[in-house]
Structure 1
């Protein structure tokens, strides 16, 4: 007699703090031994790549990772039909407002009883035939958690040759990693800074600058069009520069519907 083989539930952890990452990994092994963890990631870029590669059913995401945060990863997870649990150090209304079966949250330091309750909710939600549409909830959460305008980067102090220039953030078309530096490119000039891209992104307006590659962030309004080649790879053509910029598969979801 043939018996139906049930596919194991798969999960992903993305947490940039090693002690929290280890604690969550160990607690999940105890509370949900049947959960198959397909990836345990130290940052959002690795998590996005793992989502594209593995399509986990559930993702436990630190909401405030440098560079690519939990919200960007959550969008990719939800687009593939997965569920999300955010990890945060702050119990504020922005997070607690979304304590639902589809988007839950855990406070740091992690508490076994709270995680056990989240696991029970996830198991109940997974048993439903139809998953809710939570993209709008993620959009609202991003709005509530967005840094205040006064804390965003307004000026870049960058090296041009043997001098230092002040470049207004409104002039910048894109940033691109180059060896140990970050290129700051405007319509007419290029300069170098030592700030890592993931650190700089934390101070940029996410509505104005999108990370499109592990080493590239582009001003959305500077994009003329997005081109797809015969292999399905995307590249960006700019309005004011002749070069094209690569879009990795990890960030291709940003241009769906464009």
Structure 2
């Protein structure tokens, strides 16, 4: 027996989320909407835990935006499992079209109209049916998805498209992104007593690692904590010096001694001044290719 399709709705306005869920129940009764995330961070956590077939992501949410949430989900989606179908929900028509053309299956404009949602559901049903058909191949999925369907795109391509869309939206001010300041040169790290602040030069940092609501700052000889998120810290670092290698890890490029790829294609980084071995997400692995 084929399992019923599942979905997650990420929408910070409760009434809008309930209205979308109710309308989905009318036009697609088989779809199991099992989760409702109220912000982008919660959406990522729920999606990676439940692995739904479809994500309805509001573009503007507290924490991560819908685009940032989509990027985080794609980065950590289990290898070998088909990526979820993404539908962006937004009040901005032009922006939605950009998202749809790059990586989403479809988009919905607020307030969501029943006829438009029904058309989206039909499209999603066709894609899921094509995926489950015996012997389905890339050509079959391309035909079901149409010219802009995401199902033919590997995870790396989808991630690249999401990054391009994020960059474009930041440049246009669509997501109200702040202007990029000069890269940080010092990190102000609180001591364990709370009475001391350690000024850590950025060039001394070997790697940074997410730790709940903090970031671990690892130098050659010490470890500190800063009360921020890795997502907030990353744009403040020099991208030429600091490379994100996993959703929760950023490493200083010159601190890498070697990258080792195992028989399964997974990449691990060995560092010059630290004993830790850092895992590289499969979506960042292409960075480590011989010249």
Q: TM class by shorter-chain length?
A: 0.5 to 0.7
Q: Is it true that 1:131 corresponds to 2:138 in the alignment?
A: no
Q: Distance in 1 between matches of 2:246 and 2:237?
A: 14
The Cα of 1:163 is off from its aligned counterpart by 3.3
Q: Is it true that 1:46 corresponds to 2:46 in the alignment?
A: yes
Pair 85,178 (structure 1): closer, same or farther in 2 beyond 3 Å: closer
The Cα of 1:153 is off from its aligned counterpart by 7.5
The Cα of 1:99 is off from its aligned counterpart by 3.1
The Cα of 1:81 is off from its aligned counterpart by 5.5
The Cα of 1:104 is off from its aligned counterpart by 1.1
Q: Distance in 2 between matches of 1:239 and 1:14?
A: 44
- Of 269, 276, 283, the match for 1:254: 283
- Name stretches of at least 5 consecutive residues in structure 2 with no aligned partner: 131-135, 143-151, 172-177
- Of 5, 12, 21, the match for 2:7: 12
Match of 1:151 in 2: 180
The Cα of 1:196 is off from its aligned counterpart by 3.1
Pair 184,28 (structure 1): closer, same or farther in 2 beyond 3 Å: same
Pair 234,37 (structure 1): closer, same or farther in 2 beyond 3 Å: farther
Q: Deviations over 1:46-73 (max 9, x none)?
A: 312332xxxx433323456646621342
Q: Distance in 1 between matches of 2:59 and 2:93?
A: 12
Q: Distance in 2 between matches of 1:206 and 1:25?
A: 40
The 3-state SS of whatever aligns with 1:115 is helix
The Cα of 1:122 is off from its aligned counterpart by 1.5
Maintained 8 Å contact 1:61/1:74: no
Q: Is it true that 1:29 corresponds to 2:48 in the alignment?
A: no
The 3-state SS of whatever aligns with 2:141 is coil
Q: Distance in 1 between matches of 2:212 and 2:159?
A: 34
Q: Distance in 2 between matches of 1:64 and 1:14?
A: 13
The 3-state SS of whatever aligns with 1:139 is helix
Pair 159,102 (structure 1): closer, same or farther in 2 beyond 3 Å: closer
The 3-state SS of whatever aligns with 1:69 is helix
Q: Is it true that 1:225 corresponds to 2:235 in the alignment?
A: no
The Cα of 1:32 is off from its aligned counterpart by 1.2
Maintained 8 Å contact 1:61/1:84: yes
Match of 1:237 in 2: 270
Pair 64,80 (structure 1): closer, same or farther in 2 beyond 3 Å: farther
Count matched residues: 240
Match of 2:119 in 1: 117
Return the structure number with greater strand share: 1
Q: Distance in 1 between matches of 2:112 and 2:28?
A: 15
The Cα of 1:119 is off from its aligned counterpart by 0.9
Match of 2:87 in 1: 85
The Cα of 1:117 is off from its aligned counterpart by 2.3
- Name stretches of at least 5 consecutive residues in structure 1 with no aligned partner: none
The Cα of 1:34 is off from its aligned counterpart by 0.7
Match of 1:99 in 2: 100
Q: Deviations over 1:1-44 (max 9, x none)?
A: xxxx4x14412315262525444333322321111345544331
Pair 46,174 (structure 1): closer, same or farther in 2 beyond 3 Å: farther
The Cα of 1:143 is off from its aligned counterpart by 0.8
Q: Deviations over 1:75-109 (max 9, x none)?
A: 6489615422123454335x413536962122345
